[in-house]
Structures are given as C-alpha cells and as structure tokens.
Amino acid sequence: MAQVVSLEEAISKVQNGMTVMVGGFIGCGAPDQLLEEVCQKGTKDLKLIANDTGILGDAMSQLIVKRCVSKLIATHIGTNKETGRQMSASELDVKLVPQGTLVEQIRAAGAGLGGILTPTGIGTIVEDGKQKLVVNGTEYLLELPIRANVALLNAYKADKAGNLVYRRAARNFNPVMAMAADLVIVQVDNIVEVGEIDPDEVMTPGIFIDYLVQKKPLEVPDVG
C-alpha cells in the first residue's frame, strides 16, 4: 500500500551498494529531487540502471559527478561527458545496452518472464557472450530480466493509493520500472485524494508503488 512520506524518509531506504533504477530520458521525467537527496547523503557504490546519465549539471548527472555510482547500465551516455571520462579512466563500470532491449529486460523482470528474445544486436558486439535462438527461421538474442532493489521515479499526478499519471514525454521508462523493483519511490508534482483520479486515467496501478513524495508544483506553460 502506497504511503505519502517525506523526501528524507523515502531516500533513507536507499543504501550504499544497492541496485537502483531511475526513470527519465535526458532529464525529462527524471525524479530530480529524489536524486539530489541521494547525492546529498553521499550515497556510494550504487549500481545504476537508467536510460542515460542526464546532461552535465542536472540532478541525474550529479549521481555520476558526485561518484555515487560504481556500475552503470544505460543506453546512451553522450550527454554527460563525466560518465565517458570515468568510463575511459576505468573508474566506472559501464555496460551499454540498446534502448529497446533495456526496457524489455526491465519489463520482463516486472512481468515474471525469464527473459526476452530480440533481433536487436544480432551481428553486432551486443551479441557477445549471449545465447542465440532461432525461431521460425529468424535469429534472436536471449536477453535476461533486470531487477532492482529500488526504483526512483517521477509522475505528474498520483492519488494517495499510488495510482500514477504521467505527462507528455516524461512517461518514458517510469511505468516499466515501477514493476521491477522491490521498493518503488515516486516523486509527484500533484498528490490528490483517493477517488480524484478516474480509474480509466491511471497509467501505473497504485499496487506497484510504495512511497509517494510531494514535489513542489511544476510550472507548466499552457500548451493546449
């Protein structure tokens, strides 16, 4: 059952050495205030699973800059030069994964699947060390599920039962990660009472969510 808690209480559950999934796509839909608190606490040795490591200067990038992360699984690190620098200097263990594969590996973990078969990466270095299967004459890579101890997510609206609504392109990895971690913490722009979100409008069922943290309301321009 979801609980509304303070930022500090929520992030007190994030311990050194944990595997942490973080939603967002180059900062859009990333839980910036949760990440700032993780950095602030001086958290170390996280295994980070995320699409990218943000743009140098944003909250996501600070996880890398402040050396909270020892191992990273991501699809793209080009927007944060510090990630590339730490990788080249062998200070950070980085595994790059195709975006469509990463999201399906996470979904597989959340959905109780033993893995997924994808044609992506066949004939490239992505296939190194992986099992290949031929189904109906087509070659696929077996990609294994990816789970985390904690997921740090962002939503536009939540009711106190944890039901989530995202806005525009800020949805990205958030709904999939909500299913694949032992503890799911969501930073929310607007927390409303139970019953104030129509059941048809819910994008992520509240049963996946453990903690809701209220964020200062986001100023959104009127774009119709």
217 binding other proteins? (CB under 8 A): no
Distances (CA, A) of 213 to 44, 106, 147, 176, 179: 22, 23, 22, 19, 18
d(CA 188, CA 198): 17
- Tokens 């109780």 correspond to 112
Distances (CA, A) of 216 to 33, 188, 189, 212: 9, 9, 6, 13
Sole binder of other proteins in the list 15, 118, 190, 214 (CB under 8 A):
118
Q: Which is nearest to 202 in space by CA: 148, 163, 149, 146?
A: 163
208 binding other proteins? (CB under 8 A): no
Q: Residues 98, 126: contact at Cβ < 8 Å? A: yes
Sole binder of other proteins in the list 153, 170, 181, 191 (CB under 8 A):
170
d(CA 153, CA 173): 9
190 binding other proteins? (CB under 8 A): no
113 binding other proteins? (CB under 8 A): no
Map residues 27-66 to x or -, x wherever contact with other proteins holds by CB under 8 A: xxx---------------------xx--x-----------
Query: Secondary structure of 31-72 in the HEC alphabet?
Result: CHHHHHHHHHCCCCCEEEEECECCCCCCHHHHHHHCCCEEEE
- Say whether 156 sits in a helix, a strand or coil: strand
Q: Between 43 and 82, whose beta carbon lies closer to other proteins? A: 82
Q: Between 110 and 162, whose beta carbon lies closer to other proteins? A: 110
Map residues 132-151 to x or -, x wherever contact with other proteins holds by CB under 8 A: --------------------
- Least distance to other proteins, CB of residue 107, Å: 5
Count of chain residues binding other proteins (CB under 8 A) = 50
Sole binder of other proteins in the list 85, 168, 182, 195 (CB under 8 A):
168
Q: Between 43 and 83, whose beta carbon lies closer to other proteins? A: 83
**Positions in the binding site for other proteins (CB under 8 A):** 25-29, 51-52, 55, 74-79, 84, 87, 96, 98-101, 103-104, 107, 118-126, 156, 166-176, 203, 218, 220-221, 223
